[in-house]
């Protein structure tokens, strides 16, 4: 036995149908209804209505008895929805009217007084801000968790060398810990973007009504503060018609997804056999239905791919908004699905990255081996020529280039050249040069602030671990 009337065949909408004689066509109803997705904002909608009713009662616009009935009714509806006992009705269009209709059905006359001094336009703008704000808080905690996983890895591998790349060509040795911390810095800025977005969105549209404000002497500060907003919005037209807060959220999502995608791409590269830098366990890989030896990094690939839908959400909503005259237009109903979808994809990507960073087993011997390949310490040799022999850097660069060519022709690395071979290119070179040609010496020498020297990396990793604890 349904507790909700079946309004699917109702002739005219019971909320706004006063001047309508007939109901909408099936197509009209289908294109108009948002309940299929905006029911996700039920908690925010009820929070907003509770705050609105309490404010109306304080001002004497609602009687204490009506407010009590409204509060009881909304709380019962919340319990029904949470328990999956609420029947959402398409004919009632959206979450706002589904809840209000059910409230009136439960408590009668008082339910019809709730919408005083309010429109669905300020209601939806408020609900959506609350939803995005809740999403921001959850995603911020997830970003911090990924950073913690990366900082822990960095602390463990502060001194383990790996090849550092530019153009994906071996450039100079770095440490695996340093590489992990690069992503910690990126994700810290992602959190900063979320914090900025949260600060700007945290104004309350409630009381802006349809577009012009209302003749009821509402206490907008009261509702703003009850809902955790810093203040009420200052212009009713702006409040009901902009969605820049959602766009900022999507912009932050797109940038962060780009960061996660780059790390995901590196995980894919690192697990491939020719690299063999890390191994992912069964928990984060899949097999092939034909090739029994395969261990595919599907989770990393999908994190890389989710970037596409998150970027799509941002561009989609920018496109919806760009030509709309003030104030509200129904186009704006298309704001929620991209935001919900991007938030879901972002959250799942963060969970997958956190899982993979904790799951991976780095092969430090393999990374060390490749860190020294490809004449990775050539810059160290050039720097030594500058320091020890006072050669101008450009001259040192040329001498080193000739020595690399010589070593390449002989099939050895730089430390495989004899002192005589070195001296044939630059007579001043001494035995001491061999001290700078090892991978360990190279990374240890990079002591400039922000550089890859193990002592630097250990200090930075510890700082992040402290900050994130
Ligand atoms: N479902 C609508 C939305 O998401 C709510 C606001 C409708 N307002 C209106 N005047 N029809 O935008």
CA 93 to ligand 1: nearest atom: 1
CA 328 to ligand 1: nearest atom: 10
> Does the Cβ of 320 fall within 6 Å of ligand 1?
no
**What is the pLDDT at residue 12?**
61
Choosing from 25, 63, 281, 288, which is the catalytic residue? Answer: 288
From CA 237, how far away is CA 350, in angstroms rounded? 36
**Torsion angle of alpha carbons 91, 97, 102, 108, nearest 10°?**
-120
Ligand 1 centroid, distance to 425 Cα (angstroms)? 78
**What is the pLDDT at residue 22?**
78
From CA 116, how far away is CA 122, in angstroms rounded? 12
> Does the Cβ of 178 fall within 6 Å of ligand 1?
no
> Whose structure tokens read 């660069």?
397
Ligand 1 centroid, distance to 317 Cα (angstroms)? 16
231-232 and 203-204 as β-strands: parallel, antiparallel, unpaired?
parallel
> Does the Cβ of 35 fall within 6 Å of ligand 1?
no
Q: Which helix or strand (DSSP H or E) is residue 464 part of?
A: helix 454-468
Ligand 1 centroid, distance to 116 Cα (angstroms)? 17
The residue whose CB lies within 8 Å of the most ligand 1 atoms, and thus the one to mutate among 28, 33, 120, 205, is 120
> Does the Cβ of 121 fall within 6 Å of ligand 1?
yes
- 356-360 long-range contacts, Cβ below 8 Å, gap at least 24? 356/267, 356/280, 356/284, 356/299, 356/300, 357/146, 357/149, 357/150, 357/153, 357/180, 358/149, 358/152, 359/280, 359/281, 359/283, 359/284, 360/153, 360/267, 360/278, 360/279, 360/280
> Does the Cβ of 34 fall within 6 Å of ligand 1?
yes
How far the first Cα of the chain sits from its last, in Å, is 51
Task: Tell me the H-state helices in 211-335.
Answer: 220-226, 236-241, 244-271, 298-321
**For ligand 1, atom 2: residue with the closest CA:** 333
CA 210 to ligand 1: nearest atom: 10
pTM: 0.93
Residues in Cβ contact with 54 at an 8 Å cutoff, skipping those fewer than 6 apart: 67, 71, 222, 226
> Does the Cβ of 15 fall within 6 Å of ligand 1?
no
161-166 and 169-175 as β-strands: parallel, antiparallel, unpaired?
antiparallel
Ligand 1 centroid, distance to 58 Cα (angstroms)? 27
Ligand 1 centroid, distance to 246 Cα (angstroms)? 16
> Whose structure tokens read 């030594």?
384
Spans of the chain, pLDDT less than 50: 1-9
Is 445 tagged catalytic? no
Ligand 1 centroid, distance to 121 Cα (angstroms)? 6
> Does the Cβ of 332 fall within 6 Å of ligand 1?
yes
Neighbours of 448 (CB within 10 A): 9
Ligand 1 centroid, distance to 254 Cα (angstroms)? 26
Residues in Cβ contact with 401 at an 8 Å cutoff, skipping those fewer than 6 apart: 378
User: Smallest Cα–Cα separation from 354: which of 235, 180, 234?
Assistant: 180
> Whose structure tokens read 């280039």?
401
**For ligand 1, atom 4: residue with the closest CA:** 333
Q: How far is CA 23 from CA 16, 17, 26, 468, in A?
A: 11, 8, 9, 56
Is 167 tagged catalytic? yes
The residue whose CB lies within 8 Å of the most ligand 1 atoms, and thus the one to mutate among 121, 129, 331, is 121
Choosing from 167, 215, 289, 448, which is the catalytic residue? Answer: 167
> Does the Cβ of 97 fall within 6 Å of ligand 1?
no
**For ligand 1, atom 12: residue with the closest CA:** 333
**What is the pLDDT at residue 11?**
55
Residues 57, 66 contacting (CB under 8 angstroms):
yes
> Does the Cβ of 260 fall within 6 Å of ligand 1?
no
> Does the Cβ of 118 fall within 6 Å of ligand 1?
no
Residues 91, 28 contacting (CB under 8 angstroms):
no
> Does the Cβ of 241 fall within 6 Å of ligand 1?
no
Ligand 1 centroid, distance to 330 Cα (angstroms)? 6
**What is the pLDDT at residue 6?**
46
Ligand 1 centroid, distance to 55 Cα (angstroms)? 23
CA 38 to ligand 1: nearest atom: 4
Greatest pairwise CA separation for the chain in angstroms: 101
**What is the pLDDT at residue 15?**
74
């Amino acid at each position: 036995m349904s507790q909700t009337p079946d309004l699917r065949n109702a002739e005219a909408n019971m909320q706004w149908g006063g001047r309508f004689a007939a109901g909408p066509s099936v197509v009209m109803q289908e294109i108009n209804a948002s309940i299929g997705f905006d029911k996700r904002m039920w908690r925010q909608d009820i929070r907003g209505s509770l705050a609105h009713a309490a404010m109306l009662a304080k001002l004497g616009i609602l009687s204490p008895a009506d407010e009590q009935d409204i509060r009881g009714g909304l709380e019962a509806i919340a319990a029904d929805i949470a328990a999956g006992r609420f029947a959402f009705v398409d004919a009632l269009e959206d979450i706002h009217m589904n809840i209000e209709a059910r409230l009136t059905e439960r408590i009668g006359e008082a339910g019809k007084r709730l919408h005083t001094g309010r429109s669905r336009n300020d209601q939806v703008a408020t609900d959506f801000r609350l939803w995005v704000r809740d999403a921001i808080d959850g995603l911020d905690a997830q970003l911090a968790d990924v950073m913690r996983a990366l900082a822990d890895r960095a602390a463990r591998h502060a001194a383990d060398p790996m090849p550092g790349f530019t153009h994906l060509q071996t450039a100079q040795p770095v440490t695996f810990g340093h590489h992990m911390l690069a992503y910690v810095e990126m994700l810290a800025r992602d959190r900063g973007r979320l914090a900025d977005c949260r600060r700007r969105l945290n104004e309350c549209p409630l009381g802006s009504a349809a577009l012009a404000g209302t003749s009821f002497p509402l206490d907008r500060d009261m509702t703003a503060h009850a809902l955790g907003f810093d203040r009420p919005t200052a212009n009713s037209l702006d409040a009901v018609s902009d969605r820049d807060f959602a766009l900022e959220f999507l912009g932050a999502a797109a940038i962060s997804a780009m960061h996660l995608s780059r790390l995901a791409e590196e995980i894919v590269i690192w697990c491939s056999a020719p690299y063999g830098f890390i191994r992912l366990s069964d928990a984060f890989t899949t097999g092939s239905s034909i090739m029994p030896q395969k261990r595919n990094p599907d989770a990393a690939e999908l994190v890389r791919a989710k970037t596409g839908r998150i970027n799509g959400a941002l561009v989609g909503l920018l496109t919806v908004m760009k030509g709309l005259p003030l104030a509200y237009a129904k186009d704006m109903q298309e704001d929620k699905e991209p935001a919900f979808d991007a938030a879901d994809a972002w959250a799942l990507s963060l969970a997958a990255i956190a899982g993979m960073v904790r799951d991976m087993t780095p092969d430090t011997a393999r990374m060390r081996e490749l860190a020294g390949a490809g004449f990775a310490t050539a810059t160290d040799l050039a720097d030594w020529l500058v320091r020890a022999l006072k050669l101008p850097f450009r001259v040192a660069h040329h001498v080193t280039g000739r020595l690399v060519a010589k070593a390449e022709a002989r099939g050895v690395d730089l430390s495989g050249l004899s002192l005589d071979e070195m001296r044939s290119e630059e007579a001043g070179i001494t035995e001491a040069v061999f001290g700078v040609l090892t991978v360990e010496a190279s990374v240890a020498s990079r002591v400039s602030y922000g550089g890859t020297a193990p002592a630097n990396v250990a200090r930075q990793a510890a700082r992040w671990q402290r900050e994130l604890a």
